Structure 1
Amino acid sequence: MPQYIGSIDQGTSSTRFMVFDTAGHIIASHQTEFAQVLPQAGWVEHDLEVIYQTVVTCIQKTVVDMSAMGLQPLDIKAIGITNQRETTCVWDRLDGKPLHHAIVWLDTRTQDTVERLIAATPSKSKHHFQSICGLPLSTYFSAVKLRWLLDNIKAVQDANQTDRLMFGTIDSWLIYRLTGGVQGGIHVTDVTNASRTMLLNLKSLDWDDGMLSFFGMNKCSLPAVKSSSEVYGLIADGPLMGIPIAGDLGDQQAALVVIRREQIKSVMDVAL
């Protein structure tokens, strides 16, 4: 019986689902683009429901192509997820619905927030926390975007005050939805995505209480931090129902994986 691995690649402008054989060859795939939400200059958002539906569509289209080749969905033994990393998602624990559009990694609305946070550090330096989380205070990283949401969006404030707020990067949102959403969905992330939030302690590989305190965040809102390769949960419905989600990597880390001799990672025109 043939065995295959599925991969969800959720990027800044498009989503792909690819199916690989055991030799690393792509046997079927589908890709779809989606609209950017641009409320004003410097602001970039994604509709989380649209993101999820692009994943569903790509899976469905790929399964149709597999069927035309005489292959069955359950020939896929596991799937993995790779994703745009710092893009910040918030949703409601009670109904599983987004509380706001995702704020995308390249969004710069938080510049004033960054400057306020730098001023609040003992050293008055953007590098103050780098020994803990490895990152400077910047508009780029998720904790700053989440702080902006907590300061400016009433629905997020209300959810935070009543312990209904759920936060995650795109991988967390997709794993949550694919494993059932409000009906038992799993709230996790992996270390590569967590490392881009400013909230992960790089030594313990867990959320850092001091960073959470500095940013004014509740630990109960955050996903559990897992390794990049383990079974997080099973897909709850659709053509891949029952198949385990067993891999999770931020896209730039995933791009380091080399399948054939003499391949190298090369990223052009994208911030690292």
Structure 2
Amino acid sequence: MADYILVLDEGTTSTRAMLFARDGVLAASAQKDLTQHYPKGGWVEHDAAEIWEKTLACANEVIPKVGGAAMIAAIGITNQRETVIAWDKETGEPLSRAIVWQDRRTEPLCIELRQAGHEADVQKRTGLLLDPYFSGTKMRWMMDNVPEVRAAAQQGTLAFGTVESWLVFNLTGGEHITDASNASRTLLMDLSGAQFDEGLCDLIGVPHAALAKVVDMSGALAHTQPALFGRAIPITGLVGDQQAATVGQACLSPGQTKATYGTGAFVLTNQGDTIPRSANRLLGTVLTQINGERTYAIEGSVFVAGSLVKWLRDSLGIVESASQTEELARSVTDTGGVTIVPALAGLGAPHWRAEARGLISGLSFATGKAELARAALEAMAHQTHDLAQAFAADGTSWETLRIDGGMAANSWMSQDLADMLDVPVERPDFVETTALGAAMLAASGAGLYPDLKTAAEAMRGQLTRFDPHLDDSARSARLERWAKALAAA
């Protein structure tokens, strides 16, 4: 019986295929690292062909582990949002490297649009700010700087898409669709509209004809080519990674909040059917769209989280593995006054300072690996506290924070979050809730469950709770030290 859900989880540093049973238990997984390209300072690129080839290889590795394609009920896809790929619709070939969500090369265009007075209207319509983070200005850069992209646009063969759109194109043999959650991250879709907005496309300078059709996030969306896996498998879930994690954490009622600590850190609060309007530089985004009906979320995006630990490991050699940071953090009573502002790719919400750069303050001869590792973990709570203040100012205070992502496995960091935010923190035993959320959407979309709420209830696992224990004076002292370091950055 076809009871398994195949999730293709295409992240920033790796791509994975994960097979879930209908009760949410992980049955098999495969993962392959993606090559990171940094051609210039602030530029981050991926090879689009490598993304597809490695994703397909991972899928082909796990499918036989449950008895072959006949056992797969449906496919769910979740992806790094805002990363842009340009390809030729006729040949299927990429026209340049993908520009990754972390890339900052379009800051001059964003400044130009802000100085022309467009940001207020863009934010009102899209829920987003004019920042290089978002997809639309990346597409415009390709139009202006990649001759192959410009030529394909003139010939009518250009396709622009985020990563899930690229994967669907290859899986289906040519369908060009995108889900509403990813579309809402482009600067090109009005949150009150069903499709990409021609006026926004004209403003940013992106050809409307090159964009995909916006579809639901759950349901009968497409089918794979039979030759790929031996039979056509329905694709019934498409979702950006942060919306997927919100679903995976079962934040399906207004006010429920999750934070994902992966390469970056992303906090989303369910806003129900109300389009978010932030006065504190938070973002409005589509959370779910099913049967044409949308729910929305208000979001705070931090650019550097797990990538800070990766930098400590790969560039500085401070740790040999990410998990070592917990042991080091516990080995000292404090950081010795060291504070890290992890603005290695600028500052995201609520500051939105693309020009900011990372900073380590408070160094002394007493500073060692343990102090630096602990300061890196403390930076996660500091950045999240900044977001909590902005959410509260927008009328959305957190009563509980549900956390996930690779860094959430660190129990020291989880407790530090509870202490610094002064709210309980809940962590699922299975922290890869991005993939689980995509599985929930695909399972309900395939009819294994009558609706998403039922799927979430059936597939969500057990929780560990961290209650706050830090006294107010200690919390205030740390936040004062963080504020000084942040101002210097």
1:270 to 264, 289, 294: 264
Deviation at 1:60, TM superposition (A): 1.2
Rg larger for: 2
1:198 match = 187
Q: Which whole-Å CA distance do the structure 1 matches of 2:10 and 2:91 have between them? A: 23
How many angstroms does 1:62 deviate by? 0.5
1:59 counterpart SS class: helix
Of 75, 80, 99, 1:79 maps to 75
Counterpart residue number, 2:100: 104
Structure 1 251/240 Cα, relative in aligned 2: closer, same or farther at 3 Å?
A: farther
State the distance in 1 between where 2:257 and 2:109 align. Answer: 37
The code of the aligned residue for 2:129 comes to P
Determine the C-alpha separation between the residues in 2 that align with 1:2 and 1:143: 39
Which stretch shows the higher mean deviation, 170-179 or 240-249?
Answer: 240-249
CA distance in 2, matches of 1:143, 1:259: 29
The answer to whether the Cα contact below 8 Å between 2:249 and 2:258 also exists between their aligned partners in 1 is: no
Q: Deviations over 1:195-237 (max 9, x none)?
A: 0000011012321121012122222100000010122221112
Q: Which runs of 5+ in 1 are unaligned?
A: none
Which residue pairs with 1:147 in the alignment? 140
Range moving further from structure 2, 242-251 or 28-37: 28-37
- Give SS of 2:56's match: helix
Match of 1:209 in 2: 198
Cα deviation 1:71-98 (Å, max 9, x = unaligned): 2321101101000010011001221101
Q: Secondary structure at the match of 2:229?
A: coil
Mapped pair 1:93 → 2:89: yes
* RMSD of aligned Cα (Å): 1.9
User: 5+ residue gaps in structure 2?
Assistant: 266-300, 302-489
Q: Which residue, out of 252, 259, 270, partners 2:242? A: 252
1:199 alignment partner, SS class? coil
Relative contact order higher in (CA < 8 Å, ≥ 6 apart): 1
SS in 2 for 1:129: helix
Once the two structures are superposed, residues 31-77 of structure 1 have per-residue CA deviations (whole angstroms, 9 ceiling, x without a partner) of 111111111111100100000011111011112333xxxx2321101
C-alpha deviation, 1:240, in angstroms: 5.3
* 1:114-149 deviation digits (Å, cap 9, x = unpaired): 1122233xxx25333111111111000000111111
1:223 match: 212
Whether 1:116 and 2:112 are equivalent positions in the alignment is: yes
Q: Which residue of structure 2 lines up, in the alignment, with residue 55 of structure 1?
A: 55
- Give 1:166 shift: 0.4
Distance in 2 (CA, whole Å) between partners of 1:125 and 1:224 is 26
Cα gap change, 1:75 to 1:146, in 2 (>3 Å) = same
Structure 2 CA distance for partners of 1:241 and 1:46, relative to 1, 3 Å: farther
Match among 127, 130, 135 for residue 128 of structure 2: 135
Q: For 2:156, give the aligned amino acid.
A: D
Percent identity, aligned pairs only, is 41
Find out whether 1:243 has 2:233 as its counterpart: yes
Amino acid at match of 1:91: W
Instruction: Answer yes or no: is the 8 Å Cα contact 2:18–2:26 preserved in 1.
Output: yes
Matched letter for residue 6 of structure 1: L
Is 28-37 or 242-251 further displaced after alignment?
Answer: 28-37
Q: TM-score, normalised by structure 2?
A: 0.51
Retained in 2: the 8 A contact 1:128–1:136? no
Is the deviation greater in 248-257 or in 160-169? 160-169
Q: Which residue matches 2:221?
A: 232
Match status 1:165 vs 2:158: yes
Q: Of Structure 1 and Structure 2, which has the larger fraction of its residues in helix?
A: 2
Specify whether residues 260 and 151 from structure 1 end up closer, same or farther in structure 2 by C-alpha distance, changes over 3 A only. closer
What is the distance in 2 between the residues matched to 1:218 and 1:137? 18
Normalising by structure 1, we get a TM-score of 0.90
Q: Which amino acid aligns with 1:28?
A: A
Q: How far, CA to CA, are the matches of 1:259 and 1:41 in structure 2?
A: 36
What is the alpha-carbon distance in structure 2 between the residues aligned to residue 6 and residue 72 of structure 1? 11
1:74 maps to amino acid: A
Deviation sequence 1:141-181 (CA, Å, 0-9, x none): 0001111111111111111122111000000000000101x
Residue type matched to 1:40 in 2?
Answer: K
The number of residues matched between the two structures is: 260
Tell me if the contact between 2:135 and 2:186 (Cα under 8 Å) persists in the aligned partners: yes
Match of 2:176 among 170, 187, 195: 187
